[in-house]
Amino acid sequence: MSTLHVLSHSPFGDDRLNSCLRLLGSADALLLCGDAVYALQPGGAPFSALQDKKISLFVLLEDVQARAIEIPDWATVIDYPAFVELSIDHDKVNSWL
Amino acid sequence: MAKSLLIVSRQSPWSGPGAREALDIVLAGGAFDLPIGLLFLDDGVLQLAAGQNAKALQQKDLSANLQALPMFGVEELFYCLDSANARGLEKPSLDEAQPLSAEHITALIDRYDQVITL
Amino acid sequence: MKFAIALFSAAHAPSSRRALLFAQAALAGGHEIVRLFFYQDGVYNASGALVTPQDELDLPKQWRTFIDEQKLDGVVCIAAALRRGALNAEEAKRYQRDAVSISAPWELSGLGQLHDAVQDADRLICFGGA
């Protein structure tokens, strides 16, 4: 069984990313959208945490473009059709509202 | 067979209608006899603190509603041990709620068909 | 693949636009949406009382058009809507309020409709927060 976790809050001053990373299973994936893509700001603590975790990581294209963030090669940029497919590839989607 | 649903409640009890509206989803599921679970995570564990006084804020008593969950057919109740420890919550007021480590929460989410975290 | 989509954030939240774009992409990909369920602040997406500046994205209007054109089931949680002052004609009459802000294609109903959609769908996708 695998879960696609979706985060949309900024990782700075918010528990969601840390809680999510603690609960992430080995078959799970993480999609960053909205302000959650700020986690990939190089040099930040969330960046290091994600890099060390070696998880299956996806980011939503429009949010990356809007924020002018450079995406490391260990993350995959996806559009909406790919978001839909990603939600089908996993057994369930857990959005951290 | 009916699909199971896990509600992950992350809001503190007095921060707005969030905690109550999470509980309402659970109660509605129980009313329809659906397999439903409730996990308290992060600030959500604060809903389980003993001796809370809803009247001080002119609110309805959420704790009383939580105590009644088993009567409404919701028996799968859990809380995150790490969240409770981080907030100094030693003895949750809901006896039926089982403490779970992070690894057990991963397994719990795996076990349910769908999940809502709010 | 059958999707149930639930929205928890107000029309001005980025997550509400994301929900609409996901829903559009799901249909474009040949999938089915069994129900759109609007809960918590998500009820504001169904409000006909929102006035968006002309040069800004009018999300409630886009939802309405989308639901109309695709003949989708757009359900607003009645308890969440009442609490936030989003009423249809029937509820306004019941509670003796002047303001009506929800009308067809939107429907006010209970949380049972969310559970029903979860049972019916292969995937539940929730949008909300930021």
Q: Report pLDDT digits (tens) over A61-81.
A: 999 999 999 999 999 999 999
DSSP string, chain A: --EEEEE-S-STT-SHHHHHHHH--TT-EEEE-GGGGGGGSTTSHHHHHHHHHT-EEEEEHHHHHHHTPPPPTTEEEE-HHHHHHHHHHSSEEEEB-
pLDDT tens sequence across B22-36: 999 999 999 999 999
- pTM of the entire predicted model: 0.96
Determine, for residues B106 and A24 on separate chains, whether the beta-carbon distance falls below 8 Å: yes
Q: What is the mean pLDDT of residues A38-56?
A: 94
* The predicted structure's pLDDT at residue A39: 97
Residue of A nearest to B11 (CA): A97
Dihedral, CA atoms, B2, B3, B8, B9, nearest 10 degrees?
Answer: -40
pLDDT tens sequence across B46-103: 999 999 999 999 999 999 999 999 999 999 999 999 999 999 998 899 999 999 999 9
State the Cα–Cα distance between residues B4 and C53, nearest whole angstrom. Answer: 43
**Touching C: which chains, 3+ CB pairs < 8 A?**
A, B
Residues of B in contact with C83 (CB under 8 A): 17
* The predicted structure's pLDDT at residue B1: 87
* The predicted structure's pLDDT at residue C85: 96
Residues of B in contact with C110 (CB under 8 A): 28
Look up C126 and say whether it is catalytic.
no
Nearest neighbour of C115 by CB, restricted to B32, B115, B117: B32
The token duo for C59 is 């999300």
